[in-house]
Amino acid sequence: MLAIRADLLDFTATPAWQSTDEAGVRFRPDHWLLVGDDGRILGAQTADPGPDFERHDHRGRLLLPGFIDTHVHGPQLDVIASYGTGLLDWLDTYTFPAELRHADPEVAALGAAHFLDALLAHGTTAAVVFPTVHLASTSALFEAASARNMRLIAGKVLMDRHAPDGLLDDVAGAERDCEALIERWHGQGRNAYAVTIRFAVTSTPEQLAMAGALSRRHPGIYLQTHVAENRDEVRWVAELFPQARSYLDVYHQHGLLHERAVLAHGIWLDAHDRALLRDTGAQIAFCPSSNLFLGSGLFDWQGAVDAGHQVSLASDVGGGTSLSMLRTAAEAYKVQALHGTRLTAWAALHAATRGAAEGLGLSHEIGHLDPGALADVVVWDWAVGAVAGHRDAMARGAVPGVPAQPLHARVFAWMTLGDERNAVARYVAGEQQILEPG
């Protein structure tokens, strides 16, 4: 059994929008988190644990549930920080050439291992992931996740038009591949399968219909795709699907919106679309660093709150600029500020932990520190570097003559100034993950 000593922070309920009050926030400074031999959380206490526990003493540091990245492209680490294009040109110039390499099983295996270790290094312990169209890429990702016992949701990418040779499949072949992958991986360990449509542009109506039928045949699987990211993309979809009311309606007409559907971006939605998301239970994975980097637009989180549909946070890499969910949350704050609202640390961190888990139907397992949850947790330094260290000292009242500030001020500063360098230790189902340097 394991005991980890730190300042424990998680959520018991959804924080009120734009409120820095601590309702729904659970902060337990200088507590021991107790983990059983099965990797599940037993509870928390201030008293020293008994001799049966292996003690990891991180007093003075912060412990949160591991972050959940709800939309990220594993193979795109190869092209992160690439210069100078909008979405559609970026796919042709950078994404598609990078993904072609992953037809090679050796490249796919090495890439999957590197990607998952990079997620862990950045404090992310669970993710909803796009591999490539290739069977080898998807299998390699599931195998690498199984080796690390990580919670992974993924599936072979479906594309049967408007993409290069080598990244195209056909309806019948794609269906066979998906069925084989579902049988092999869905529900095996901590893996779950997602019907994975790149976006409506790259799938024919026939392939979308097949994807909907696949979802109905396997009611426990997920759906992941992109929607309304870029204005040019939205116009193109309207030309390809003139019978649809909106981009989102294309998916709805093919039976692809449900409570396990994760749609990335969702910038160019209207009130009808938001109501449809609410009524079907589908969620938007908000990718702020990608939206800013590619110049796609500004997601309206307030509109989502008003409509009552689920929002989670995602890095999107490589259109995004970092796998760090702290940096992602800091970018989300800026996007919402441009919308005239203020994203609290509570709302951002909840969306990357318990909120994401609830949206994925996984709150029995991850996203919080309740007894019975698997101990997917990360220990963080409150501050790294002179500037962050001084700001943290100000927040906690460690500077003479300066009173301590409310907890939100300290956590917001950590979220805004922190990144993967703050991550000290990572645990997946109670097992510490020792990562190779670099």
As a whole number, mean pLDDT of residues 221-248 equals 97
Contacts of 410 (CB under 8 A, 6+ apart): 382, 392, 395, 396
Quote the pLDDT of residue 203: 98
Q: Nearest-CA neighbor of 294 among 97, 129, 90? A: 90
Q: What DSSP letter does each residue of 397-412 carry, written as one string?
A: T-STT-PPPPHHHHHH
Q: What DSSP letter does each residue of 280-296 carry, written as one string?
A: HT-EEEE-HHHHHHTT-
End-to-end CA distance of the chain: 30
Q: Which CATH class is domain 67-359?
A: alpha beta
Q: Is the pLDDT of residue 188 over 80?
A: yes
Quote the pLDDT of residue 279: 98
Q: Which two tokens stand for residue 278?
A: 């609410």
| CATH 2.30.42.10 at 2-66+368-432, yes or no | no
As a whole number, mean pLDDT of residues 86-104 equals 89
Q: Is the pLDDT of residue 437 over 70?
A: no
Pairwise CA distance, residues 342 & 335, whole Å: 9
Domain map (residue ranges) of the chain: 2-66+368-432, 67-359
Quote the pLDDT of residue 88: 83
Q: Is the pLDDT of residue 134 over 90?
A: yes
Q: Is the pLDDT of residue 306 over 90?
A: yes
Pairwise CA distance, residues 414 & 410, whole Å: 6
Q: 290 falls in which pLDDT band (50, 70, 90)?
A: very high
Q: What letter would DSSP give residue 49? A: P
Quote the pLDDT of residue 333: 98
Q: Nearest-CA neighbor of 124 among 380, 438, 391, 389? A: 380
CB 378 within 8 A of CB 423: yes
CB 428 within 8 A of CB 148: yes
Reported as a single tens digit per residue, the pLDDT across 28-76 is 999 999 999 999 999 999 999 999 999 999 999 999 999 999 999 999 9
As a whole number, mean pLDDT of residues 244-271 equals 98
Tokens 């939605």 -> residue: 269
Reported as a single tens digit per residue, the pLDDT across 322-351 is 999 999 999 999 999 999 999 999 999 999
Pairwise CA distance, residues 290 & 317, whole Å: 7
Q: Is the pLDDT of residue 213 over 90?
A: yes
As a whole number, mean pLDDT of residues 141-153 equals 98
Pairwise CA distance, residues 336 & 330, whole Å: 10
Q: Is the pLDDT of residue 438 over 70?
A: no
Q: Which residues of 147-178 are buried (b: 16+ CB within 10 A; e: fewer)?
A: ebbbbbbbbbbbbbebbeeebebebeebbebb
Pairwise CA distance, residues 379 & 213, whole Å: 42
Q: Is the pLDDT of residue 321 over 60?
A: yes
Would the CA dihedral through 179, 185, 186, 192 be positive or negative?
A: negative
Residue 85's alpha-carbon distances to 51, 88, 92, 295, 315, in angstroms, are 58, 8, 10, 9, 18
Q: Which two tokens stand for residue 276?
A: 């449809």
Q: Nearest-CA neighbor of 353 among 368, 331, 335? A: 368
Q: What percent of the chain has a predicted confidence (pLDDT) above 70?
A: 100
Q: 435 falls in which pLDDT band (50, 70, 90)?
A: confident
Quote the pLDDT of residue 90: 82
Quote the pLDDT of residue 304: 97
Q: Is the pLDDT of residue 126 over 60?
A: yes
As a whole number, mean pLDDT of residues 84-103 equals 88
Where do runs of H (alpha helix) occur along 281-385? Answer: 288-293, 301-307, 325-338, 345-351, 354-359
